[in-house]
Amino acid sequence: MAKRSETSSKDAFAKLEGLGKGMISEIDGGETPKFSCSLRSKGNVFYDESVGYIRLGDKVEERKFVNVGQARKFMQTVAIANKCKKFLSEGAHTSIRGLFYQLKFSLGEDLDEELFSEQSESNPLIEDLEVALELKREDLNLNTDRKGVVAGPLVLKDKFGGDETEIDCTKQGRSGWMIPSDVDNGMDFVDVDADYVLVVEKDAMWQRLNEDKFWRKENCVLITPKGQASRGCRRLIKRLANKKLPIYVFTDCDAWGWYIYWAIKTGSMNLAYLANDIATPEARFIGVTMQDIKDYDFLGQLTIRAKDVDIKRAEEMLSYEWISRHKEWVNELKTVLTTKKKIEQDALQGPRLSFVGEYLREKISKKKFLP
Amino acid sequence: MPTSTDKIFSEFKEHSVAEFFKKNKQMLGFSGKTRSLTTIVHEYVTNSLDACEEAGILAQITVKIEEVDKEKYRVTTEDNGPGIPKKHIGKALGQMLAGTKFHRYMQQRGQQGIGASGCTMYAQITTGKPVKATSFYDKKMISCEVAVDLKTNSAILTNVVEQDTDGSKSGLVVEGEFADVKYDKSSFGVFEYMKRTAMANPHAQFTLIEPTGESVTFPRTVAEIPKKAHSVLPHPLGISTNDLLDLAHRDTDSTKISVFLQNKFSRISAARVKELRDALPAVDFEKAPKDITWSDAEALVKAFTSVKWIAPETDSVIPIGKEQIEKSLQSILAPQFLSVTERPVKIYKGGVPFAVEVAIAYGGHAGRQLADKFTSDVMRFANRVPLLFDNSGCAISEAVKEVDWKRYNIKNFDEEPITLFINLASVYVPYTSAGKQAISSEEDVFAEIKYAVMEAARDLQRYLSGITRDRDKKERRKAVLRYVGQLSKDVVELAGSGKSADVEKKLMNLIETKYSTQIEEDESEIDAPKENGNGKEEDEGEE
């Protein structure tokens, strides 16, 4: 797969136009216009041990217009491409829902049909374009909702809406800096002077650590994805990892939380086509682990019953080869299945509010991580 | 199979058959209001058709139904047949079992001869009125009223008027009033009966004048009178004990059973009689046929099955004919597609010849249309007579049901615009009951019907798959063409070069070329990524 992390909107513009020009020459040559893109179906998704993440295989599919099964989708894809080209030339962004509404119109009076009638039609075609052009949707000025917050010794330059702003993540007070959907285009790292990156699952835990100025004491970048990490959040973590910063992830002690870690580390099947940009195989897991229950006596009192979804997710995770190859994780997951217990990261505040910090410091200094 | 009616009538002959009928009219088709009216029309129409055929006249039959009162109708049937001489009018219309047909062994429509007299009786029972008959026969016009004397089973003629005519007109008009009957357009009604009768008798023209005054004519499509059926002697295989008994009792010419067997059966020679004698030492072959007992007959019928016989003659079976059916169905149903099978005569029970004719019609007026839905129509016939009742117990319906229609690309046979026309022609139709509305499931008959239907279904399948291919291609072309406009606009804008009118034209050419050639490329749907058990990522930017 081509490396595509440093695409600028100029590249995206050229790629879109190139796609169009290719089609025109095909039509001139008496051929059906077409484009090819990697297959995103399950059969073409696999864990690549050599790179340490889940990515697409080599299966490529050709999309043609003169083909009954594909004609409508082909036309729709080109319409999306054309619309995105407009966004780029106007320097304006929108959401994928906004794009959908821009393209929801009738194909003509005599045709009882809309270009798009459901957003569920346009979403997969956006992914097709991303894959075909080797771009991210953010490169096409398509934003997703912001999710995730950061604080710590990180300074960025944000060129947006004609302005240029410097963002110092040490000066974001109690709320932190909200991670945007696009952390590449018009977004430069000015200074990253941290020893490591700490990703904590829950916003409440992040606020606790922020109030303690944990990031200042430890000289780390403190991030919360607020649950499952968004594309922008994962991309930021990846960019920080590219700066050689160790990435430590801290979640609840349950399959649900652990899977947040794995999605950050190896990427996911749904987003396999973006893995090179958003998977961070270097990430390590701090906790909370089942082993912690033995190591910290008080935690034994603070377990709660695992829910059915936790059990189900644990079973699924055991079936993923990239997880089950680590015996530490097999032990953890099997413990969940046998004890049917879980611990929330909040439980570490049991003895005293600042205990979380002590726990993290101990784990990091003793390098007590799970792979 | 002998009909139980035959038996009953033979037992009741000495008493009053008419009295018996009165008590058992439902057995003969006079049950249910709609059905009774259909039966009445059937009896008259059948008589007319038979009379015309025997006289070598191309039949023209008009049936008029008028509503006299609630559930009371006047039925007038007029034909262009030879008419009836005065001395036979009473027998024909006022005496049960007086017809000439009853004791003959040949293919014919009605077999009982109770028909028209039965109607007269029904009129008497329900309205108290006799029927009126006008016969144009041999330069004479005779009109009279006919009633049945219920005690003596003889006709009573009143108001007889006789006139000389110039002989240019012949035929019979019968008019009767019947109550406890109903005219409706259901599949059991007179309209359907007339339509189907017309389908199976393309050499005749039928006109129906409905109670509303509307008149429907099913024109003649074949100007050829069907070949006359000839009497044949029964084959020993396929005779029942009861029939044998009957034949023997009626035989006054033969002096002994051994002679009776050789005279009244086909394929029984002196050598075969000897074989039978050896096999049945307990039966006295020397006694008179009238003295034969039930157990003698039973033993004989059983012994017949162990003797090797020459197969029966098959020329007694007279099908309607492939060309004839094609013409009549074309005229009445005007289908998009029609196929008629032509199959050889087969034998059932080892001794009874029969032939099955199947026509399958698709589209046009085939099938029944209910609102915007179609249902298929299975039309059953025995010797050209439509069987409207007792559908469920009939071998024809059962055989059609047993066909695996999906094999012929007919997904839901019940909901297609299909008419299946199935005629069973035989000297001896194996009816299930005296009502003669259903055919019993004789193994050979059932199998032959099924094979014939399958043959017709194959033809339809070939036709339909041709249509599907053509329509598919057209629809594919259309499905792609509709997106050309939008795509041309977007491609040109995206490329930042070219003219959308040009691109549009070129794309259209491309599509026309592709969908007019015989070669089809793969037309696979895009293989969209499916569910992959990764539930935690639903919120990855789908807002």
The encoded tokens of residue A189 equal 């790292």
Q: Are residues A155 and A87 in the same domain?
A: no
Does the structure show a pLDDT above 50 at B103?
no
pLDDT reported for residue A204: 94
Nearest Cα neighbor of B345 from B195, B201, B235, B225 is B235
In a domain, A3, yes or no: no
Rounded to two decimals, the ipTM of the complex is 0.82
Contacting residues of A for B510, CB less than 8 Å apart? 27, 30-32, 66
- Given a contact cutoff of 8 angstroms between Cβ atoms, the answer to whether B403 and B454 are in contact is yes
pLDDT reported for residue B106: 60
| Domain spanning B4-218: CATH 3.40.640.10 | no
B109 pLDDT band, cuts 50/70/90, is low
Does the structure show a pLDDT above 50 at B183?
yes
- Given a contact cutoff of 8 angstroms between Cβ atoms, the answer to whether B355 and B344 are in contact is yes
A118 by Cβ neighbours in 10 Å (0-12 / 13-18 / 19+) ranks as exposed
Query: Mean per-residue pLDDT for B227-231?
Result: 77
Does the structure show a pLDDT above 70 at B94?
yes
Say which CATH number the domain at A56 has. 1.10.10.10
Does the structure show a pLDDT above 90 at B313?
no
B114 pLDDT band, cuts 50/70/90, is low
| Cα–Cα distance for residue pair B280/B286, rounded to 1 Å | 13
Q: Are residues A297 and A156 in the same domain?
A: yes
- The predicted-structure confidence for B256-288, as pLDDT tens digits, reads as follows 999 999 988 988 999 999 999 999 998 899 999
Nearest Cα neighbor of B275 from B251, B307, B235 is B307
Query: Mean per-residue pLDDT for B454-476?
Result: 84
Could you tell me which residues come within 8 angstroms of residue A320 by beta carbon, excluding any fewer than 6 positions away?
A: A47, A262
Considering only residues B17 and B330, tell me which one the structure prediction assigns the higher pLDDT: B330
Choosing from A112, A143, A174, the residue where a domain stops is A143
A270 touches chain B (CB under 8 A): yes
A94 touches chain B (CB under 8 A): no
pLDDT reported for residue B151: 75
8 Å CB contact of B494 and A107? no
Inter-axis angle of helices B241-250 and B294-304, to 10 degrees? 120
The encoded tokens of residue A89 equal 């030339």
Range of the domain at A341: 149-365
pLDDT reported for residue B191: 95
Contacting residues of B for A42, CB less than 8 Å apart? 529-530, 532
Residue of A47, A53, A101, A259 with catalytic role: A101
Q: Are residues A139 and A260 in the same domain?
A: no
pLDDT reported for residue B1: 44
A115 touches chain B (CB under 8 A): yes
| Cα–Cα distance for residue pair A7/A11, rounded to 1 Å | 6
| Cα–Cα distance for residue pair B31/B43, rounded to 1 Å | 15
Residue B539 Cα, gap to closest chain A Cα (Å): 8
| Cα–Cα distance for residue pair B5/A60, rounded to 1 Å | 78
Contacting residues of B for A268, CB less than 8 Å apart? 534, 537
B437 pLDDT band, cuts 50/70/90, is confident
Torsion (CA) A298, A302, A303, A307 in degrees, nearest 10: -160
In a domain, A193, yes or no: yes
Contacting residues of A for B537, CB less than 8 Å apart? 228, 263, 268, 270-271
Which of the listed CATH numbers 3.40.50, 1.10.8, 1.10.10, 1.25.10 matches domain B241-304?
1.10.8
% residues pLDDT > 90 (chain A) = 75
The β-bridge relationship of strands B418-426 and B352-362 is: antiparallel
Q: Mean pLDDT for chain A?
A: 91
CA angle A141, A145, A149 (to 5 degrees): 115
| Partner residues linked to B207 by β-bridges | B62, B217
Q: Are residues A258 and A165 in the same domain?
A: yes
8 Å CB contact of A107 and B495? no
| Cα–Cα distance for residue pair A225/A243, rounded to 1 Å | 20
A101 catalytic residue (yes or no): yes
Q: Mean pLDDT for chain B?
A: 85
| Cα–Cα distance for residue pair B329/B56, rounded to 1 Å | 24
Give me the count of residues in chain A.
371
Query: Mean per-residue pLDDT for B76-96?
Result: 89
Q: What distance, in Å, lies between the first and last C-alpha atoms of chain B?
A: 77
Choosing from A143, A163, A179, the residue where a domain stops is A143
Query: Mean per-residue pLDDT for B54-62?
Result: 93
Say which CATH number the domain at A226 has. 3.40.1360.10
- The predicted-structure confidence for A260-291, as pLDDT tens digits, reads as follows 999 999 999 889 999 999 999 999 999 899 99
8 Å CB contact of B490 and A61? no
In a domain, A2, yes or no: no
Inter-axis angle of helices B33-55 and B115-127, to 10 degrees? 140
B519 pLDDT band, cuts 50/70/90, is very low
- Given a contact cutoff of 8 angstroms between Cβ atoms, the answer to whether B403 and B378 are in contact is no
Contacting residues of B for A98, CB less than 8 Å apart? none
**pTM of the prediction?**
0.55
pLDDT reported for residue B8: 46
Q: Are residues A135 and A183 in the same domain?
A: no
Q: Are residues A167 and A316 in the same domain?
A: yes
Query: Mean per-residue pLDDT for A224-244?
Result: 95
Interface residues from chain B to A (CB-CB < 8 Å): 476, 479-480, 482-483, 485-487, 490-498, 503, 506-507, 509-511, 514, 521, 523-530, 532-537, 539-543
- The predicted-structure confidence for A311-335, as pLDDT tens digits, reads as follows 999 999 999 999 999 999 999 999 9
Classify the phi-psi angles of B340: left when phi > 0, otherwise alpha if psi is within -120 to 50, otherwise beta.
Answer: beta
% residues pLDDT > 70 (chain B) = 88
Q: Are residues A188 and A139 in the same domain?
A: no
- Given a contact cutoff of 8 angstroms between Cβ atoms, the answer to whether A184 and A136 are in contact is yes
pLDDT reported for residue A185: 86
In a domain, A370, yes or no: no
pLDDT reported for residue B479: 81
* Nearest CB to B483; choose among A21, A71, A271: A71
- Given a contact cutoff of 8 angstroms between Cβ atoms, the answer to whether B250 and B6 are in contact is no
The encoded tokens of residue A37 equal 């893109």
Torsion (CA) A98, A104, A105, A106 in degrees, nearest 10: 170
Q: Are residues A246 and A336 in the same domain?
A: yes
Contacting residues of A for B530, CB less than 8 Å apart? 41-42
3-state secondary structure B362-391: ECCCCCEEECCEEECEEEEEECCEEECCCH
Q: Are residues A198 and A61 in the same domain?
A: no
Give me the count of residues in chain B.
543
pLDDT reported for residue B352: 86
8 Å CB contact of B482 and A107? yes
SS3 category, B28: helix
| Cα–Cα distance for residue pair B332/B219, rounded to 1 Å | 9
In a domain, A222, yes or no: yes
Per the structure, the count of domains in chain A is 2
Residue A298 Cα, gap to closest chain B Cα (Å): 30
| Cα–Cα distance for residue pair B224/B187, rounded to 1 Å | 29
For B536, nearest residue in chain A (alpha carbons): A228
Distances (CA, A) of A326 to A26, A281, A292, A332, A371: 50, 14, 18, 10, 7
- Given a contact cutoff of 8 angstroms between Cβ atoms, the answer to whether B459 and B434 are in contact is no
Query: No. of H helices and E strands in chain A?
Result: 14, 17
Nearest Cα neighbor of A302 from A247, A343, A361 is A343
Distances (CA, A) of B456 to B155, B163, B408, B468: 49, 54, 10, 18
Choosing from A100, A122, A143, the residue where a domain stops is A143
3-state secondary structure B223-275: CCCCCCCCCCCCCCCCCCHHHHHHHHHHCCCCCCHHHHHHHHCCCCCHHHHHH
In a domain, A23, yes or no: yes
pLDDT reported for residue B525: 44
For B474, nearest residue in chain A (alpha carbons): A68
For A234, nearest residue in chain B (alpha carbons): B540
Does the structure show a pLDDT above 60 at A95?
yes
B203 by Cβ neighbours in 10 Å (0-12 / 13-18 / 19+) ranks as buried
SS3 category, B74: strand
A124 touches chain B (CB under 8 A): yes
- The predicted-structure confidence for B363-378, as pLDDT tens digits, reads as follows 889 998 877 788 899 9
Q: Are residues A68 and A36 in the same domain?
A: yes
| Cα–Cα distance for residue pair B165/B177, rounded to 1 Å | 28
A62 pLDDT band, cuts 50/70/90, is very high
| Cα–Cα distance for residue pair B103/B101, rounded to 1 Å | 6
For A316, nearest residue in chain B (alpha carbons): B533
| Domain edges within chain B | 4-218, 241-304, 322-464, 483-514
> What CATH number has the domain spanning B322-464?
3.30.230.10
| Cα–Cα distance for residue pair A63/A68, rounded to 1 Å | 11
In a domain, A1, yes or no: no
- Given a contact cutoff of 8 angstroms between Cβ atoms, the answer to whether B1 and B240 are in contact is yes
Query: Mean per-residue pLDDT for B23-51?
Result: 86
- The predicted-structure confidence for B245-256, as pLDDT tens digits, reads as follows 888 888 888 899
As a whole number of angstroms, the longest Cα–Cα distance in chain A is 75
Contacting residues of B for A115, CB less than 8 Å apart? 486
How many residue contacts between A and B have a Cβ separation below 8 Å?
A: 158
Query: Mean per-residue pLDDT for A60-70?
Result: 89
Lowest model confidence (mean pLDDT) among B87-101, B140-154, B293-307, B527-541: B527-541
Nearest Cα neighbor of B355 from B395, B377, B385, B383 is B383
- The predicted-structure confidence for B381-391, as pLDDT tens digits, reads as follows 999 999 998 88
